[in-house]
Amino acid sequence: MQELVNKVLNNSQLEPKLADEIMTIGRLKKVKAGGVVISPESDSNEMPIVLEGLLKVMRRDPNGNEVFLYFLEGGETCAMSITCCIEGKKKAFNVIAEEDSVLWMIPMGHIDSWVVKYPSFRKFVFDAYQTRFDEMLNTIDSVVFLKMDERLYKYLLDKKQASGSFVINKTHEQIANELNTSRVVVSRLLKQLEKEEKIEQHRNRIEIL
């Protein structure tokens, strides 16, 4: 376990001293696929770093509609958690475990002092922001510039990329929720993608070709 943390921290190029601190101060958290890591209701004051697995960040509107925003992969952290915690604001998003995942939770209290002390941590934080902005812009691109069929296909490819697997275990209904459309539409478009031989469909499972 310690090795896992170390490995991730090393990959992030954090100074050994900082890695030590993070190691000492943080705590391990395991989440099963589908489990909630962060929700608007929870006011945890911890910043999660993904050690293993995959998280997904979703936006939910007041009427209960949802959209998928982006994934958080190994070594990444949730930039929005940082700002929210610092500002003490309510989170405006949900973070859900897309796969069984292992997280390292760091109490926010130390962020400020680490930013001051460790150049590598500043870089880590700014990198996180940069990446998240990119992902958000990417999401906006999909939603604004693409038609639903392209958006769906892009979603499948992203998921493949993030999970490292050609197989996607989701129902049409679940996918429809993440794209904020209806199940029927997803079925229709998936059928189309199948005809174009871009995917293969099975029950509860889609294979990217």
Partner DNA sequence: GATCGTGTGTGACAAATGTTACATCGGACG
Partner DNA sequence: CGTCCGATGTAACATTTGTCACACACGATC
Dihedral angle at the C-alpha atoms of 112, 118, 120, 124, nearest 10 degrees?
-10
Q: What is the C-alpha separation between 39 and 57, in angstroms, rounded?
A: 10
107 CB-contact burial (10 Å; exposed 0-12 / middle 13-18 / buried 19+): middle
27, 32, 122, 191: residue in contact with DNA (rule CB under 7 A): 191
Q: Does the footprint of a second copy cover residue 83 (CB under 8 A)?
A: yes
What is the per-residue binding string for a second copy in 5-24, x denoting contact by CB under 8 A? --------------------
181, 198, 200, 208: residue in contact with DNA (rule CB under 7 A): 181
Sign of the torsion angle spanned by Cα atoms 196, 158, 170, 5? positive
**Amino acid code (one letter) for 12:** S
Residues 123-142 touching a second copy, rule: CB under 8 A, are 123, 126-127, 129-130, 132-134, 136-137, 139-141
50, 54, 79, 206: residue in contact with a second copy (rule CB under 8 A): 79
Using alpha carbons only, how large is the chain's radius of gyration in Å? 18
> Between 21 and 135, whose beta carbon lies closer to a second copy?
135
Beta-sheet pairing, 66-72 with 36-38: unpaired
Q: Locate tokens 């130390």: which residue?
A: 110
> Between 17 and 89, whose beta carbon lies closer to a second copy?
89
Minimum CB separation from a second copy for residue 123, in Å?
8
End-to-end CA distance of the chain: 35
Q: What is the C-alpha separation between 121 and 153, in angstroms, rounded?
A: 36
> Between 89 and 205, whose beta carbon lies closer to a second copy?
89
Residues 114-153 touching DNA, rule: CB under 7 A, are 147-149
Binding site for a second copy (CB under 8 A): 59, 61, 63, 65, 67, 69, 79-80, 82-84, 86-87, 89, 92-93, 112, 115-116, 119, 122-123, 126-127, 129-130, 132-134, 136-137, 139-141, 143-145, 180
